[in-house]
Amino acid sequence: MGTMETGMQTDSLEAGTEAAAASPVVIEARKLDLTFQTNDGPVQALRDVNLTINKGDFVSFIGPSGCGKTTFLRVVAALEHPTGGAITVNGMTPDEARRERAYGYVFQAAGLYPWRTIARNIKLPLEIMGFSKAEQDEHVDRVLKLVDLEGFGGKFPWQLSGGMQQRASIARALAFDADILLMDEPFGALDEIVRDHLNEQLLELWDRTGKTIGFVTHSIPEAVYLSTRIVVMSPRPGRITDVIESTLPRERPLDIRDTPEFLAIAHRVREGLRAGHAYDD
Amino acid sequence: MADVALANHARGGAVGAGLRRMSAALVPVVVVVAAIIALWYVACVPMNIKEALTQAERAGAVIDPPSAIERRDASAIGLVFRNSDHIGATFGQERPRLPAPHQVGQELWNSTGDMVLRGRAFSKRSLIYHAWVTLSATVLGFAIGTVAGVALAVGIVHSRVMNMAVMPWAIASQTIPILAIAPMIIVVLNSIGITGLIPKALISAYLSFFPVTVGMVKGLRSPDAMQLDLLRTYSASQSETFWKLRLPSSMPYFFTSMKIGMAAALVGAIVGEMPTGAVAGLGARLLAGSYYGQTIQIWAALFAAAILAAVLVGIIGAIQGVTLKRMGMAR
């Protein structure tokens, strides 16, 4: 079983690399292991994770709780450090990549500072990174436009709906022009209607900016709708069980979710989750 | 909430709704105050009845029982029922065990407003003078205590060593009775030539730094893991994390602990005035009152202290309201 999995992974990885031969590798993980030492003994959050993400990819990570999808994203962001294997981000270690402002990170909660206006929230990373006042204003205007929040810069977070707050937090992650956007269940706390809308906007944003996006989700339709590649993960130990290349076109209206092609991919994701015993207990 | 506001608006405008809300808040307060005053008057009767009967007897009235020794051993409530004619006298004595509310009110007026009208607001007999003496020590001590408390909290949050070394001592410092340590502080400082305001302020600071430290440690640690991770993704330094996240997040805790610290500082200043030989200040006034059996003066000084505390805490509350509202953090 183990060998078969590894073989399948390698196949799809190579297929991915060939398909995007022109795009440079952005994130590369080789035999990545991460073991947390807890009071109940060691917990293997990641085991033997091999993955290559190319520039401009939209990669979703899907799997049940404890499968290591968030942990993997945190390793990329240098918020956790692997206990084995190697990972590079833009050809650097994650720590170096962070200092080079390689990525913007979007968390599940918007986490806007209530004492700052939306514009000043977006300026937060810019202030820390030492942008000049004029640059800050220029960046804020640009990213507010990107997330359709023009004219809301002077509002306080509590004056905005949950979906708008999350868009503001995406704007904050985009503010310093990182090429990689890491999103950890960014729409998990929002209702389905808002979520659909934000998914549509996110695709549009991705199309316009050409960012590389790593996106953690619990939702099969969300993963299939958004991604160019879907990484299916399983828990205990956290590992990759399948990597699915999406055959959907880049242009994706919301009703693409009713096409047979979409349903076929969703079916394969579900099979991948089942193979990893994700539906046990 | 919004629905209620809308309905009110339809019925008669925001002003009407505001008035209704204010009266809704006022009614319980008035009821409680009235109940306390009523209970106080009731309590005055048995507390003061024996003295009232003694005075009445001296004035020639017939008392039941007539023997003073018998009355001494009798229950106060029994005496009240057997001599109900003399209940009125329990509210107007010169040195009652428990002064009636109007006596305390009268004394408060005589030693404040009346003194002002006579142009003697800062005479030694004026409570305004004594309150001012206590206030200056309180405010200075509170300022020292707040600065020290915040400094300790910053150290505790940022240094593991300080967290483990300072916190136990801070807690231990508060388990020592202030009444025991206050005279020592006064005497020690006096022996090195420091007298007057500073020793009292230091006792105030000793009491008021602690709630500020505890509150600020909690406040500075209030940002959750996600907020701290976000700043890590920007490679923010410790000082940037402090100024941009920890300090603003701690503001609600800061104001709450300052309110407790202010009340503690006032207690410290009053206690600090007692061992100095009752020269000036509300503490001195309390002590002098008890030396000479001036119960009304004691109670008036107590109320002056309570009013002072309420005003000081109220000022912090008002600053809190404005600040948190401007920060968008009002609850």
Position A280 scores a pLDDT of 60
Most confident of A147-156, A252-261, B144-153: B144-153
pLDDT block averages, 10 residues each, chain B of length 331: 46 65 84 94 87 82 78 82 80 86 90 80 81 91 96 94 89 88 87 86 92 95 94 93 95 95 92 76 86 88 92 94 85 55
DSSP line for B28-45: HHHHHHHHHHHHHHHHHH
> d(Cα B21, Cα A200) in Å, to the nearest integer?
46
Which stretches of chain B are DSSP H helices?
Answer: 2-58, 68-73, 76-82, 101-111, 113-117, 127-158, 160-175, 178-191, 197-220, 225-233, 238-241, 247-249, 251-273, 282-291, 295-326
> d(Cα B203, Cα B272) in Å, to the nearest integer?
6
Residue in the structure block whose two tokens are 């003496």: B133
Position A274 scores a pLDDT of 87
Number of Cβ within a 10 Å radius of residue A43: 14
Instruction: List the helix and strand counts (H, then E) for chain B.
Output: 15, 0
Q: Which CATH code is given to the segment(s) A2-102+181-275?
A: 3.40.50.300
Position B4 scores a pLDDT of 46
- Residues B127-326, CATH architecture: Orthogonal Bundle (1.10)
**What amino acid occupies position A227?**
S
Of the partner residues A79, A127, A157, the one whose CB lies closest to the CB of residue B229 = A79
Of A185, A193, A140, which is closest to residue A166 (Cα–Cα)? A185
B230 in reach of chain A (CB within 8 A): yes
Position B314 scores a pLDDT of 94
User: Using the 8-state DSSP alphabet, how is residue B103 labeled?
Assistant: H
Inter-chain contact A127–B244, Cβ cutoff 8 Å?
Answer: yes
DSSP line for B248-299: HHTHHHHHHHHHHHHHHHHHHHHHHHTTTTS-SSHHHHHHHHHHTT-HHHHH
> d(Cα A74, Cα A69) in Å, to the nearest integer?
9
Per cent of chain A over pLDDT 90 is 63
The ranges of chain A annotated as CATH 3.40.50.300 are 2-102+181-275
Torsion angle in degrees (nearest 10) through CA of A203, A109, A115, B310: 160
Domain range list for chain B? 2-98, 127-326
Distance from CA of A281 to the nearest CA of B (A): 30
Work out the average pLDDT over A3-30.
57
Position A9 scores a pLDDT of 44
> Of A75, A79, A121, which to mutate for an interface test with B (greatest number of B Cβ within 10 Å)?
A79
Inter-chain contact A128–B235, Cβ cutoff 8 Å?
Answer: yes
> d(Cα B304, Cα B243) in Å, to the nearest integer?
40
The answer to whether residues A100 and A90 touch, using CB atoms and an 8 Å cutoff, is yes
Helix (H) or strand (E) holding B96: none
Inter-chain contact A158–B245, Cβ cutoff 8 Å?
Answer: no
Inter-chain contact B234–A158, Cβ cutoff 8 Å?
Answer: no
Inter-chain contact B229–A125, Cβ cutoff 8 Å?
Answer: no
Could you give the angle at which helices B251-273 and B282-291 cross, rounded to 10 degrees?
40
The answer to whether residues A199 and A215 touch, using CB atoms and an 8 Å cutoff, is no
Of A28, A36, A33, A45, which is closest to residue A234 (Cα–Cα)? A45
Position B331 scores a pLDDT of 55
Nearest-by-CA chain A residue for B241: A128
> d(Cα B144, Cα A265) in Å, to the nearest integer?
67
Work out the average pLDDT over A21-36.
86
B73 in reach of chain A (CB within 8 A): no
Which of A130 and B2 is assigned the larger pLDDT? A130
B238 in reach of chain A (CB within 8 A): no
Nearest-by-CA chain A residue for B245: A113
Position A6 scores a pLDDT of 42
Strand partners, A212: A180
> d(Cα A130, Cα A123) in Å, to the nearest integer?
10
> Of B234, B322, B326, B329, which to mutate for an interface test with A (greatest number of A Cβ within 10 Å)?
B234
Look at strands A180-184 and A103-106 and give their pairing: parallel
> d(Cα B276, Cα A211) in Å, to the nearest integer?
74
Of A3, A34, A11, which is closest to residue A238 (Cα–Cα)? A34
The number of residues making up chain A comes to 281
Nearest-by-CA chain B residue for A113: B245
Confidence of residue A136 (pLDDT cuts 50, 70, 90): very high
Write the CA distances from A123 to A21, A66, A153, A172, B314, integer angstroms: 36, 34, 11, 7, 36
Residue in the structure block whose two tokens are 């048995």: B46
Work out the average pLDDT over A211-240.
92
Of the partner residues B226, B234, B327, the one whose CB lies closest to the CB of residue A125 = B234
The yes/no answer to whether this complex scores an ipTM above 0.90 is no
Confidence of residue A189 (pLDDT cuts 50, 70, 90): confident
Confidence of residue A278 (pLDDT cuts 50, 70, 90): low
From chain A, pick out residues whose CB is under 8 angstroms from the CB of B227: 111
Position B181 scores a pLDDT of 86
Q: Could you tell me the end-to-end alpha-carbon distance of chain A, in angstroms, rounded to an integer? A: 21
